[in-house]
Amino acid sequence: MFNKILIANRGEIACRIIKTAKKMGVLTVAVYSDADKDALHVHMADEAIYIGPSPSRESYLLGDKVIAAAIKTGAQAIHPGYGFLSENADFCRTCAAKNITFIGPPVGAIEAMGSKSAAKNIMEKANVPLVPGYHGEDQSSAVIKKAADDMGYPVLLKATAGGGGKGMRQVWNEQEFEEGFAAAKREALSSFGDDTMLVEKYLTQPRHVEIQVFCDNHQNAVYLFERDCSVQRRHQKVIEEAPAFKMSEELRAKMGESAIKSAQAIGYQGAGTVEFLLDVDGSFYFMEMNTRLQVEHPVTEMISGQDLVEWQLRVAAGEVLPKTQQQLVLNGHAFEARIYAEDANNDFLPATGKLSLLQTPVESEHVRIDTGVRQGDEVSVYYDPMIAKLIVWDENREKALKRLSKALSEYRINGVTTNIDFLYNLATSKPFVEEDIDTGFIEKNNDLIFHDNAQELLNELPIAALYLVLSIEKKALQSALHSNDPYSPWHNANAWRLNEPHSHVLVLAHNDVEYTVEVEQKRQGNDAYYLVKINSEQFDCQGTLDDDNLVVNINGHRSLATINCNENNISLYRANGVFNFTHILPDFGQHEGDDSHGGLTAPMNGTMVSVLVEAGDTVSKDQPLVIMEAMKMEHTIKAPSDGTINEVFFQAGDMVDGGAELLAFSTSEE
């Protein structure tokens, strides 16, 4: 076994590999770019080498720098993770030349699977089932059209240079063929510089089912069951599960054996994944083979009880496979949800920012979180905006799915927009629960998954407003009780001011739509309650705030909310999802029309935090005069010009209503 390995990757997969290496007593070397100098994977590794500027092409993709780092630290092997250099044949070759073990397949396997059409030819010779079609040398439209006519429509034209869904065109009947074929060739030429086409029977409701295979250097090969990865958006996997639902033992064995044949056809070693299209009639067809550890490998680990990274290290070090096929047992059901910093309501635009709050579900034998970030980290523009992979397991699909939705609803993330609500809506949608899933799932169920929560949002506004008012009143009481003025009426602690009714006018925004919310405190005997008005609607509200947890009663409906405030971004975590608001503060600056001759007024309700001047003081323009706190933020009110303070009307700890005159001021020009 190696005594030191270098991980040529970052983020969650780097952390995940380091965890297993540590468990095995193998030392680890991380590599990092400028953006990752304080990243979690750097802290977790035993040592770390800087490899360059933040853009991947100037750091993580520079094979020579990675190999130099391995040589410098005496790492005997390099684990490439996924992406980056993991399927780069040249890098694999250079490792061998430098006598550094590449933890992955032989370079010949990487090259063989690098071309989709070459892969198909190899699989055809190995009697691995391919989708009925034609992928021959003769590219005349007559030959390709005859193949299409013979197999029957619809057919799928695919550019052999394409991949990942690019360069595919459906042809629904014979009449459309010529035009479709010409268009597909034009698109392929412009996209890939190569218009070689293949044609296949078009499967209209296929599932994406992939088999995890493992081969050692002693001619042993096993499959570790299957994963269903049909839920994809623009060919990016969103939620994966293992095993595949509605999978019979017989079909599992047939697909597993076929996957083994595929791996053996290319002399495979290490971890590999054979992807199949599974048709509604139970027939399956080779799609492609991935020569790396996949992002979704944890669901296989959860149902097989195997650590696939440990298997990778052992096999790369020349050991035999840790288990035989007979020793592998499928137990339970697992899901993986990919949590991303992206805006699902804005075409999944990647989001960046600081993870000001990152509270996760509690990890257990049922809940696993693979992540490369911590609270306070930046989600940067340079890399895939993955925050974490949430993996859950239970003894069957129904129970595992309940664990998934519960864990998703327990996440508390603020500072960046995430896709958690989208994942929650998807995981709890009827078709998903009922296994009505194929690769078209997200398009088919678009309205279900992206339901517009405008009405739900309006129901949450009173809660956000109540939270803000309760926070101000709590802060006012605290600062007043701690004020240093012995004569302050606040000292008798019965908060006499709170007996006076007062109101707040707040402006809350969501997705650039602003809502004005009036909150008026009322009293019923000793109980305070609040009348909240939004547009023409009125809500009777009561609430008790304990840190960030609010027990709220709106028109007789009691419920819980967790709130996180980051500057004026408010995230409201509720059972039915997270709701984000921006609190629009009025401008505390002086405006032209302001009364800068008679006095300075409080622009809104707040608390006097400190008074920095006294009557008779001469002040200069922009000199701070008082600091008041409003809506959990402190604001300094400054002198609008050179002048004199004639009188001060409030002291620290006082609550002031919007519009109250704070001090009498006259400018020097007067």
Active site residues: 292
Nearer to ligand MV4 among residue 231 and residue 604 (C-beta): 231
389 binds ligand MV4 (CB under 6 A): no
For ligand MV4, the binding residue among 439, 445, 564, 607 (CB under 6 A) is 439
**222, exposed or middle or buried, with CB in 10 Å at 0-12, 13-18, 19+?**
buried
Residue among 83, 104, 167, 206 that touches ligand MV4 (CB under 6 A): 206
| Position 442 contacts ligand MV4 (CB under 6 A) | no
Binding status of residue 63 toward ligand MV4 by CB under 6 A: no
Q: Looking at 232, 345, 644, 667, which residue binds ligand MV4 (CB under 6 A)?
A: 232
Task: Indicate which single residue of 75, 203, 344, 663 sits in contact with ligand MV4 (rule: CB under 6 A).
Answer: 203
Token pair 């074929």 is found at 181
Quick check: helix, strand or coil at residue 360?
A: coil
Q: Which is nearer to ligand MV4, 39 or 161 (CB)?
A: 161
* SS3 readout for 456-514: HHHHHHHHHHHHHHHHHHHHHHHHHHCCCCCCCHHHHCCCHHHHCCCEEEEEEEECCEE
* Interface with ligand MV4, residue 476, by CB under 6 A: no
In 279-326, where do the E strands start and end? 284-290
Of the listed pieces 197-205, 247-255, 416-424, 613-621, which binds ligand MV4 according to CB under 6 A?
197-205
User: Considering only CA atoms, which of 654, 588, 661, 649 is closest in space to residue 614?
Assistant: 649
Q: Using the rule CB under 6 A, is 235 a contact of ligand MV4?
A: yes
Considering only residues 451-470, where is the footprint of ligand MV4 by CB under 6 A?
none
208/333 with CB nearer ligand MV4: 208
User: Which positions ≥6 away from 441 have C-beta within 8 Å?
Assistant: 230, 231, 431, 432
Please state the closest distance from residue 239 (CB atom) to ligand MV4, in A: 13
Q: Is 202 in the site for ligand MV4 (CB under 6 A)?
A: yes
Q: Give how many residues touch ligand MV4 by CB under 6 A.
A: 15
* Length of the chain, in residues: 670
Rank residues 134 and 530 by Cβ distance to ligand MV4 and give the closer one: 134
Tell me: does residue 234 bind ligand MV4 (CB under 6 A): no
CB of 235 to ligand MV4, least distance (A): 6
Three-class HEC string of 248-281 = CHHHHHHHHHHHHHHHHHCCCCEEEEEEEEECCC
The first and second tokens of residue 294, run together, are: 């996949």
CB of 45 closer than 8 Å to CB of 30:
yes
294 touching ligand MV4, by CB under 6 A: no
241 binds ligand MV4 (CB under 6 A): no
| Residue 287 found at the interface with ligand MV4 (CB under 6 A) | yes
438 binds ligand MV4 (CB under 6 A): no
CA gap 412, 360 in Å, rounded: 6
d(CA 14, CA 17): 5
- Distance between CA 627 and CA 634 in Å, rounded? 7
SS3 264: helix
Task: Find the binder of ligand MV4 among 156, 209, 309, 468 (CB under 6 A).
Answer: 156
Nearer to ligand MV4, 196 or 582 (CB): 196
For residue 577, list its beta bridge partners.
574
Residues whose CB falls within 8 Å of the CB of residue 125, separated by 6 or more in sequence, listed in order: 265
Cβ pair 200, 214 in contact under 8 A: no
131 binds ligand MV4, rule: CB under 6 A: yes
Interface with ligand MV4 (CB under 6 A): 131, 156, 164-165, 200-203, 206, 208, 232, 235, 277, 287, 439
